[in-house]
Chain A
Amino acid sequence: MPRRRVFNPLTELLAAALLVVLVLVVNTWQFSLAVLVVAVLPGVLLSGKPRQITLAIAVTAGPLLISSFFLHGLFFPEGTTVLAEWGPARVTAEGLQFAALTGLRLAVFTGVLLTAALTVSIPELVSTLTHRRWNRRLVFVLGSAVGLLPHVAERARQITRAQQARGLVVGGSISARVRGLLMVSVPLVTGLLIDAAERTQLLEARGFSSPGPRTNYLPDTDTAGQRTARWLMAAGVLAFGCAWYAVGAGR
């Protein structure tokens, strides 16, 4: 069930991007943690598809988090406060702190961006950009790129269904699941490539690349208030960033 949309997608995407900028500027683990708890967590929980988003975050950020933790936690040359030591590996307080900092930052990035990307309504975004008279080609390249995600998921689902209908048994052990995934990915990629060629032609045949202004079926959900808010937010973050560096807290 999709959540009830409060803001225009453009506003939401901008807010997400600005949050990432803020985390980069402030660059302390306390702030990252606060953002994670105050913004990302509720965002994921209220998104209407927490499981899907959590999975996406785990898949993208998980391996990076783990490797960063081992790398910095165990081998941090600048570390002085040694907590434990096995041969060349030294666990240092500084290393752990650094790992926590980068790890949290990474978690915020992926959390914010994936939540925004996976919950944004693509048609509404495309419609807003069209109504705002953005470059039409850019809008549609953007739209189709984002629209590809659900399309790929749908194709994968179809292929699994077809394979199951012919005797593929998925589930059970992890290795069986991995094998199932491999069985899907090869036909998925070939299928998508074939699809893409044909679809491009058929979209062209529906005026996809016609010159001149474009309109949209959906009404404009953007409001003057939100437009102002977007400018204010961007200006605010910019001002804050400058101030932060000027005061020298950004060391």
Chain B
Amino acid sequence: MIRLECSTFAYDGGPVVLSGVDLAVEPGGLVHVVGPSGSGKTTLARLLAGQTGAGSGAQFRGALTLGGDRLGFTGGPADPRIDPAAWSSTVAYAAQRTEGQLSMMSATVAEEIAFGPANRGMPTGELRAAVQATAARLGLTDVLNRDPRRLSGGQLRRTIIAAAVVGNPRVLILDEPFQGLDAGSRAEVARTLEVLRAAGTALVICAPMLPGSVAPHSRVLALAGGRPVFDGTFAQARTAGLERYAIGTEGSAPDLRRAPAAPAVPPRRQVQAGTPLAELSGVSFSYRGENSRRQEKVLRGVDLRVDPGDIVGLTGVNGSGKSTLLQHLNGLLRASSGTVTVAGQPLGRRTAVGRLAGAVGYLFQDTDQQLFERTVLREVAYGPAAAGAGRETAQERARTALAAVGLGHTAGEHPYELGFVERRLVAFASLIASGPAVWVLDEPTAGLDQRGRNRVGDLLLDHAAAGGAVVLATHDGAFADALCTRILELKDGRIFSGGARRGAGGA
């Protein structure tokens, strides 16, 4: 049994971010912790994982109970120190940021998964069997020999989950384990977790929204502003009116200001005559592999035309090549054959990526790959400044973009001090600030809370209505259905039309 009693918790010198929580999970129990951005989910997950922040000046008042031992904390120097090695032998934790969790000592996914149990001395034979079984359950068998730094976003997420479950922990804390997973992988992960739970593992799953469906007997703890606002069964949670705390339900349609049913899109035929904002024709691509045997093509003759007013949704399973395709639109990757045209100019081998930034803005799948500046304002002003705008102008545009995503108040903060959703929106603002006509967004809604998701939806519609275009990769079907003028599916390196959507329906 694990129990967290948290009267207050504050990071070094900061305000209280979590208070009044009392969460106990029995063996075989499952608790979904839901809450919007900044509600304290990750803090709660970290506390359960034994990270009380004692070394970094955080103040925790409360208690942690694991098995029969109750450790009391008063926020003073005399507080007990949790031995991470001992704690983690019972409590496994998979954090929200995937890339930061790689051990850096593994050349392959298999070694990465094996890292935890190997540290605890599981014999090599047993270890190999356990790794292979876990990989098979999570659909990772094909990538076991790959470099973990060269995986798609969803493959990496599954690797991190595999690493957390491989040791059959008695308690498992997962911070947004489903973020960026396709429907099939979600089901695989859910099934794997269910097997563990049935065998007696206590599970805590944090997510920004209520899951669409859950295992029976599971409980929901909703947080808002660092306080619990609901604790009960899933059925009760659905009718408890959690929307008032901006806690939505996964898979529900976004709530948009601008009615997508009345698109301000010019009729398609007329648009086809003009020059597209961006176009791929016959694009093929393969990664120059670390593994020379694996030279298979990720893209095989892809055609894509992006016109003003388009919102193109790109779907496909994890590893199908969505991110790969998107990176061709701003020149981060160069086609092995075929042509890419941006703003009427064909892309040459030597066209600098930076020269395209004014025409195509890119939102990376992994936010932490995108942010690099010291303050939010500098981060967002980077694009306009690089494009030659003066300091004042650049900052002005940055402020406007920040206001557009609702983060005007964070201008002076360090991007790393913000929560996940805010960092995501800062990255989005930094794209908007450069004013490109084409927005290329890699899973823009992954991990967002309801408010953020709605806001992003509104921004996309406004941008398209103003004559811009959007191409987004997504696993969020409801979002794509509500917004996209076209939905395409990427499969075996080719594009399939998922049927014409909103725009065509109205025209």
Contacts and interface: CB of A to CB of B under 8 A. Distances in A.
A63 interface: no
B328 to A, nearest CB: 13
A165 B370 CA distance: 9
A162 B371 CA distance: 7
B383 to A, nearest CB: 4
B120 A210 contact: yes
Given A147-B104, A162-B372, A199-B101, A217 B85 contact: no
Contact of B116 (A190, A191, A206, A219): A206
A251 interface: no
B119 to A, nearest CB: 4
Interface in A180-211: 187, 190-191, 194-195, 197-199, 201-211
Nearest to A130: B118
Interface string A131-165: 00000000010011001101100100011011111
A166 B369 contact: no
Interface residues of B, number: 66
B364 interface: yes
A215 B357 contact: no
A95 B194 CA distance: 76
Interface residues of A, number: 55
Contacts of A206: 88, 103, 115-116, 119, 163
Contact of B332 (A147, A165, A187, A219): A165
A187 B416 CA distance: 12
Interface string A112-127: 0000000001111010
Interface string B14-42: 00000000000000000000000000000
Given A211-B85, A213-B121, A205 B386 contact: no
Contacts of A148: 104
Contacts of B386: 163, 166-169
A171 B354 CA distance: 10
Interface in B98-151: 100-101, 103-108, 110-111, 114-124, 127-128, 131, 149
Nearest to A166: B383
Contact of A164 (B50, B354, B361): B354
Nearest to A155: B369
Contacts of B111: 123, 217-218
Contact of A215 (B84, B100, B127, B416): B127
A121 to B, nearest CB: 7
Given A123-B111, A217-B114, A167 B383 contact: yes
B345 interface: no
B105 A122 contact: yes
A1 interface: yes
B209 interface: no
A154 B147 CA distance: 12
B352 interface: yes
A165 B353 contact: yes
Interface stretch (B89-97, B235-243, B297-305): B89-97
Contact of B105 (A147, A163, A164, A171): A147
Interface string B282-320: 000000001010000000000000000000000000000
B487 to A, nearest CB: 25
A226 interface: no
A214 interface: yes
Contact of A170 (B51, B89, B352): B352
Interface string B358-396: 100110100001111110000000110011000000000
A2 interface: yes
A60 interface: no
Contacts of B56: 197
A66 B476 CA distance: 59
Interface in B46-61: 49-51, 56
A209 B84 contact: yes
B434 interface: yes
Nearest to A165: B362
A165 B382 contact: no
A161 B332 contact: yes
A170 to B, nearest CB: 7
A134 to B, nearest CB: 15
A150 B56 CA distance: 28
Given A154-B149, A171-B352, A206-B88, A164 B357 contact: yes
Contacts of B88: 204-207, 210
Nearest to B119: A207
A2 B17 CA distance: 48
Contacts of A191: 372
Nearest to A159: B372
Given A205-B88, A206-B88, A165 B118 contact: no
Given A123-B111, A209-B84, A168 B354 contact: yes
Task: Kindly list the 4 A-B residue pairs having the minimum CB-CB distance in the complex, ordered from nearest.
Answer: A167-B386, A187-B372, A204-B84, A167-B357
21 contacts: A147-B103, A150-B104, A161-B332, A163-B354, A163-B382, A164-B354, A165-B361, A165-B364, A169-B355, A171-B352, A195-B100, A198-B100, A205-B84, A206-B103, A207-B120, A210-B119, A214-B119, A215-B123, A216-B118, A217-B110, A217-B128
Given A187-B373, A190-B374, A202-B93, 20 more contacts: A123-B106, A123-B111, A161-B369, A163-B372, A165-B353, A165-B370, A166-B354, A166-B383, A166-B431, A198-B100, A201-B84, A202-B101, A204-B85, A205-B51, A207-B88, A211-B85, A212-B120, A216-B118, A217-B111, A217-B118
Interface of A: 1-2, 121-124, 126, 140, 143-144, 147-148, 150-151, 154, 158-159, 161-171, 187, 190-191, 194-195, 197-199, 201-219
